Amino acid sequence: MSVRAAVGQLLLACIGSVAAAICSAVPAAAAATIGSTDSAASPTSTPDYGFCTVCHGTQGNGNPGIRAPKIAGIEPWYLKRQLEHFRSQLRGTQPTDVSGMEMQPVAMQLDDKAIDAVALYVGTFTPKAPPKTVSGDVKHGRQLYTSCAACHGPKGEGNSALHAPALAGQTDWYLVTELQDFQAGLRGLSPQDDSGTQMRAAASALPDEPAIKDVVAYINTLPRR
């Protein structure tokens, strides 16, 4: 059993006891803040969402030792969408998707209000630039990234209108893993997952693992978030 799998089992053992509090004790301030245009709005008190930090770190900057990617700095709309996908079993149900299968039962414990509040909570984290662990042909990666830029932006800044998250400053090994998962059909199989279906087609255009690493190596050169 992997270290992360063991942590996942421990997490699931305790998640049931806090699930009711998570789902019922979402503060009114947090619920009201979701979707607010007031940049100063923030939750004044929250139930304990520390289960996020068990794997992802105290400030959500990831833990490579257990293959937990950075979540600090992730767009709230994207985090909410992925938690909803885990909850509705659009993601994290394939037996070979180990990390996805660890996330899926956690998301199953969250109702809509709790997902909103988790997104707010993660939004309070201070993002740090993750270490660069992927190397490749940056020049070739720049050429490959041209098609990625159509949705994710020329600087990897993302585009919420296209449901395309930012790529710059994300955990590089995780980007490699997710591109591989799209290629393998571990993500983007459901017709209900429009963005995932588009990403699966885009990932399939990368001919091999070196090409995946090349494009991620180029993303590593983009301004960090």
Q: Name the residue ranges covered by the structural domains of the chain.
A: 3-122, 138-219
pLDDT at 69: 96
pLDDT at 148: 97
Say which CATH class 138-219 falls into: mainly alpha
pLDDT at 77: 97
Residue 158's identity, in one-letter code, is G
Summarised one tens digit per residue, pLDDT across range 128-139 is 999 999 999 999
Backbone angles phi, psi at 12, to 5 degrees: -65, -30
Quote the CA–CA distance of 217 and 219 in Å, as a whole number: 5
Point out the residues of the chain with pLDDT beneath 70. 1-48, 225
Backbone angles phi, psi at 53, to 5 degrees: -80, -10
Residue 19's identity, in one-letter code, is A
Summarised one tens digit per residue, pLDDT across range 71-106 is 999 999 999 999 999 999 999 998 899 889 999 999
Quote the CA–CA distance of 164 and 84 in Å, as a whole number: 16
Are 3-122 and 138-219 equal in CATH topology?
A: yes
The structure's pTM equals 0.80
| CA distances (Å), origin 166, targets 13, 51, 96, 128 | 33, 24, 26, 15
| CATH superfamily membership of 3-122 | Cytochrome c-like domain (1.10.760.10)
pLDDT at 49: 72
